[in-house]
C-alpha cells in the first residue's frame, strides 16, 4: 500500500510555520483546551513537574495552579505519604540529621526522593513538625543544637530556628518561609482543607506556654492570626473534624496534664471548650509529655492508637467516651511510641511504624533502640465506629534505615 503525502504537508510542519504554531498552542491536539485540561488534571499530580519540561505553555500552566483548581472542582484527591528519610549521624556525641525526605504514592506504588532541603546540613538539625496543606509540604520547628545535645538540661542547650521551609509539589522545589507570626514549637497543627492551622506550643525566646493560634494560607503564602484558645497548652495534638480545628491534651504553664479539648469555629472565629474529652481513657495519662498523641480523623470520626495496649479506639461524640475497634496487626506489634505514626489516608487509616521483621517476642522488642536493621512498615484499614475488630492490610513499601524514630511523617491529599 502506498502512503500518499499531501503536497502541502511539508509546508505545514516547517518550524515557525502557521500550522506548527497552531499545534504548539494546543495542549493535546486535536482536543480543545477545555477538554485537554480535564484530561491533564487526571494525571497524578506528582507528574506535574515533568509536564513543565514539555513546552513554555505547559510550564506556565503548572506554575499557574490551574490544574490543581480543576482537580478540586472534579473531586480528585490522591494520597502521598512524606517521610523524613535522612540518616541520624553522630559526631562527638553530637546528633544531627540529614534534611532528606521521601514521597510514596500508595495508588501508583511509586517512591521518589525529594530534593535535599536547603537547610544548613553542617549543624545539628531536627524538624519537630511536618504537615501538608494543598500541594505545599511545610517543615516547621527546626531545632538546632547549641553547645550540647537536644534536651533542655543544665549541660544541654538547644534553640529553635524560626525558618520555615516549604516544598511545592508541582515545581519540585523548596522555598524559604514565610515565618510564623509567633515562632513556636511543641504545638498542635492540622490540615484544615484550604488552610493549615497551628495553636499553642512554647514560644521560641521567652519559653512561654502559648494559647495563640494562626493559620497558613497556601494561596497567599502567608500566616494570618486566629483568636486565642481558652487555655495555654503545649505538647498537644491537633486535627480537623466536622469543619472545625480541634486541639486536645497537652500540659499547661504549670505542667498540669490537660484532659479537655477545644475546637475552633471558622465561621464564628471562636474557640469552644470540650471538658473531659480524654479523661475517659486512662491510657492518655500515662504518656510521656514529649510524645505526641497518635490521633487521626477518617470520615469525620476521631481515632486514637493506644500504644501500650496496641489498641485502636474511636471517639464517640454523643457521650464523650472512647470505644475499642481493634488492635494493630500481630506481625508488627513490636514497636514503641517513638516509632509509630497514625495518619488519615482519605477514607482509610494509615499506620506507619518502624519495627523489626520476624520479631517473635517482647524481649526482642527491648533491643530496638540498639538495633541498626529496622524497617518502616506501612499498613492501612477502613475503620468504622460500628466495628469491633478492624482488618489491616500491608502496603507495598519497605525502607530500611538507621533512624530509630519516626518524628516526621505526613499525608498530602492533592
10 Å CB burial of residue 333 (0-12, 13-18, 19+) is middle
pLDDT digits (tens, 9 = 90+) for 76-88: 888 999 988 766 5
Q: How confident is the model at residue 26 (pLDDT cuts 50, 70, 90)?
A: confident
Strands 158-161 and 374-381: unpaired
Determine the Cα–Cα distance for residues 398 and 378; give it in Å rounded to an integer.
8
pLDDT (average), residues 358-382: 56
pLDDT value at position 4?
Answer: 43
Determine the Cα–Cα distance for residues 47 and 100; give it in Å rounded to an integer.
20
List, in order, residues 6 or more apart from 177 with CB less than 8 Å away. Answer: 163, 164, 166
Instruction: Out of 168-172, 197-201, 282-286, pick the least confident.
Output: 282-286
Query: To which H or E segment does residue 344 belong?
Result: strand 340-345
Q: What SS3 class is residue 9? A: helix
Higher pLDDT, 364 or 256: 256
What predicted TM-score, i.e. pTM, was given to this entire model? 0.81
pLDDT value at position 7?
Answer: 46
pLDDT (average), residues 190-196: 92
Reference 97, options 409, 407, 414; nearest CA is 407
pLDDT value at position 333?
Answer: 61
pLDDT digits (tens, 9 = 90+) for 123-161: 555 566 788 998 999 987 665 555 544 444 444 455 555
Cell numbers found for residue 257: 496534664
pLDDT (average), residues 273-289: 67
List, in order, residues 6 or more apart from 119 with CB less than 8 Å away. Answer: 99, 125, 139, 142, 163, 165
pLDDT (average), residues 219-238: 94
Q: How many residues does the chain have?
A: 414
Instruction: Out of 167-176, 351-360, 397-406, pick the least confident.
Output: 397-406
Query: To which H or E segment does residue 56 belong?
Result: helix 56-64
pLDDT value at position 307?
Answer: 80
pLDDT digits (tens, 9 = 90+) for 236-261: 999 999 999 999 999 999 999 899 99
Does position 277 have pLDDT exceeding 80, yes or no?
yes
Query: To which H or E segment does residue 363 belong?
Result: helix 362-365
pLDDT digits (tens, 9 = 90+) for 41-85: 999 888 888 888 899 999 999 988 899 889 989 988 889 999 887
Tell me how far CA of residue 279 lies from CA of 140, 250, 261, 290, 304, in angstroms: 30, 13, 10, 19, 14
Q: How confident is the model at residue 377 (pLDDT cuts 50, 70, 90)?
A: confident
Does position 111 have pLDDT exceeding 80, yes or no?
yes
Amino acid at each position: 500500500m502506498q502512503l500518499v503525502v499531501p503536497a502541502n504537508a511539508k509546508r505545514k510542519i516547517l518550524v515557525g510555520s502557521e500550522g506548527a504554531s497552531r499545534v504548539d498552542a494546543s495542549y493535546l491536539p486535536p482536543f480543545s483546551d477545555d477538554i485537554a485540561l480535564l484530561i491533564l488534571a487526571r494525571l497524578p499530580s506528582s507528574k506535574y513537574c515533568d509536564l513543565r519540561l514539555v513546552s513554555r505553555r505547559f510550564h506556565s500552566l503548572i506554575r499557574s495552579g490551574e490544574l490543581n483548581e480543576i482537580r478540586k472542582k472534579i473531586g480528585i484527591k490522591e494520597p502521598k505519604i512524606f517521610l523524613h528519610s535522612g540518616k541520624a549521624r553522630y559526631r562527638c556525641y553530637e546528633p544531627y540529621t540529614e534534611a532528606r525526605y521521601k514521597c510514596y504514592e500508595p495508588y501508583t506504588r511509586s517512591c521518589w526522593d525529594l530534593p535535599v532541603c536547603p537547610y544548613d546540613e553542617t549543624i545539628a538539625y531536627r524538624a519537630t513538625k511536618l504537615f501538608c496543606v494543598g500541594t505545599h509540604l511545610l517543615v516547621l520547628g527546626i531545632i538546632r543544637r547549641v553547645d550540647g545535645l537536644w534536651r533542655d538540661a543544665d549541660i544541654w542547650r538547644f534553640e529553635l530556628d524560626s525558618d520555615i521551609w516549604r516544598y511545592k509539589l508541582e515545581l519540585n522545589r523548596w522555598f524559604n518561609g514565610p515565618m510564623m507570626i509567633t515562632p513556636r514549637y511543641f504545638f498542635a497543627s492540622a490540615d484544615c482543607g484550604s488552610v493549615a492551622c497551628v495553636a499553642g506550643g512554647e514560644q521560641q525566646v521567652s519559653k512561654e506556654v502559648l494559647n495563640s493560634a494562626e493559620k497558613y494560607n497556601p494561596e497567599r503564602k502567608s500566616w494570618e492570626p486566629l483568636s486565642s484558645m481558652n487555655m495555654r497548652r503545649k505538647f498537644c495534638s491537633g486535627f480537623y473534624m466536622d469543619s472545625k480545628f480541634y486541639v486536645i491534651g497537652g500540659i499547661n504553664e504549670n505542667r498540669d496534664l490537660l484532659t479537655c479539648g477545644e475546637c475552633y469555629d471558622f465561621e464564628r472565629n471562636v474557640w469552644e471548650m470540650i471538658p473531659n474529652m480524654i479523661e475517659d481513657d486512662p491510657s492518655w495519662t500515662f504518656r510521656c509529655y514529649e510524645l505526641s498523641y497518635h490521633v487521626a480523623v477518617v470520615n469525620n470520626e476521631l481515632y486514637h492508637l493506644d500504644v501500650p495496649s496496641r489498641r485502636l479506639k474511636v471517639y464517640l461524640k454523643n457521650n464523650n467516651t472512647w470505644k475499642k475497634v481493634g488492635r494493630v496487626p500481630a506481625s508488627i506489634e513490636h514497636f514503641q511510641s517513638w516509632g509509630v505514626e497514625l495518619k488519615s489516608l482519605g477514607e482509610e487509616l494509615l499506620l506507619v511504624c518502624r519495627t523489626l521483621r520476624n520479631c517473635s517476642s517482647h524481649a526482642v522488642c527491648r533491643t530496638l533502640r540498639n538495633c541498626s536493621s529496622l524497617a518502616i512498615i506501612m499498613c492501612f484499614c477502613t475503620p468504622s465506629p460500628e466495628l469491633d475488630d478492624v482488618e489491616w492490610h500491608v502496603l507495598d513499601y519497605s525502607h530500611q534505615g538507621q533512624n530509630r524514630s519516626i518524628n516526621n511523617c505526613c499525608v498530602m491529599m492533592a
